[in-house]
Amino acid sequence: MIIDCHGHYTTEPKDLLRWRKEQVENVKEPAKQPAKASLKVSDDEIRESLEGAQLKLQRERGTDVTIFSPRAMGMSHHIGDYNVSLTWSQLCNEMIHRVCTLYPDNFIGVCQLPQSPGVSPDSCIGELERCVKEFGFVGCNLNPDPSGGHWTAPPLTDRWWYKFYEKMVELDVPAMVHVSASCNPAFHGTGAHYINADTTAFMQLIMGDLFKDFPTLKLIIPHGGGAVPFHWGRYRGLALNNKRPPLDEMMKDNVWFDTCVYHQPGIDLLTKVVPIDNILFASEMVGAVRGKDPQTGHEFDDTKRYVDHALGLSAEDKKKIFEGNALRAYPRLKNKLRAKSAARA
């Protein structure tokens, strides 16, 4: 089975975007905020938004199921206050639930959290529980920088996050550490802010004792781990210099990188230096980089092709990357897939 662990609803129906625009325009006037009931999206509109995009690409590229969440850039936790973020997150998660209900064989949900700058992550526990218990979602996207590029939140290893981690462990769900839009003009969103965040999160984990306190906590760092694979020696050295555990020991059953790396040499490097047990297949297709690579004639985000052709990977290695590692990183996924198989039988 080919499990794509990183998909976003980047082709969402127009009325969802219309609703968000109205919410943002009236962010300082609560009385003018749009009602949730004013959002009108039919099932056919959802089907139309997916059939020519994610579903078409799944079929063409041979992906079986995508772990699917709201548009990452659209989370924009820096806009408005907690109540604005909560309402927006609820609407986005309900839309993902509708997608997964319409296409249960193709998509499994992961939720957006109602984070807000300066507000304790404890405030996100209710929405996480709702999405896991009511909607059957298998994880969440956790923004390490709700300020949108100003980095005002404590490191991920700080006790500020601990109550939320306790709930993740209780529910047995991982978090993909994923920032949203950058409101700092010094940091391009997908080209700088995303990669900076991935790299920053990994360094925070090196320097902390998070997994001593939470030995079963699971975190996915997307986009190939940011700059980490290219500078693997730097981080190994920093860990040694600071008397921290070796990188493979620190990652082990707690940290995974995904394959959202959009060229063959990048995947070759990722799979050569990062432990195979800690790599998850992902494409983020219809995402950050769209279109064909003129050097290869293939779509940039057709990452399955890169894994298929990665140097030195055995059949067993590829099975781990495409399927086995995802079942370890997302403990609820196995039962979810089993239930889907039973429903088809």
The answer to whether the beta carbons of residues 139 and 167 sit under 8 Å apart is: no
Instruction: Clarify whether 249 is annotated catalytic.
Output: no
The answer to whether the beta carbons of residues 140 and 128 sit under 8 Å apart is: yes
Composition of the chain by helix, strand, coil, percent to 5: 50, 10, 40
Phi and psi at 55, nearest 5°, equal -65, -40
DSSP single-letter state for residue 155: P
Q: Which residue of the set 284, 299, 316, 323 is catalytic?
A: 284
Cα separation, 206 vs 74, in Å, equals 29
Q: In what order do the strands lie in the sheet with 107-109?
A: 3-9, 65-70, 107-109
Transcribe 274-315 into DSSP letters: S-GGGEE-----SSSS-SB-TTTSSBTT-HHHHHHT-TT--H
The answer to whether the beta carbons of residues 8 and 68 sit under 8 Å apart is: yes
- 330 half-sphere exposure, CB direction, 13 A CA radius: 32
Cα separation, 284 vs 68, in Å, equals 9
Q: In whole angstroms, how large is the CA radius of gyration of the chain?
A: 19
Nearest to 106 by CA among 184, 1, 192: 1
Angle CA(254)–CA(172)–CA(251) in degrees, nearest 5?
0
Cα separation, 4 vs 282, in Å, equals 5
The set of catalytic residues is 284
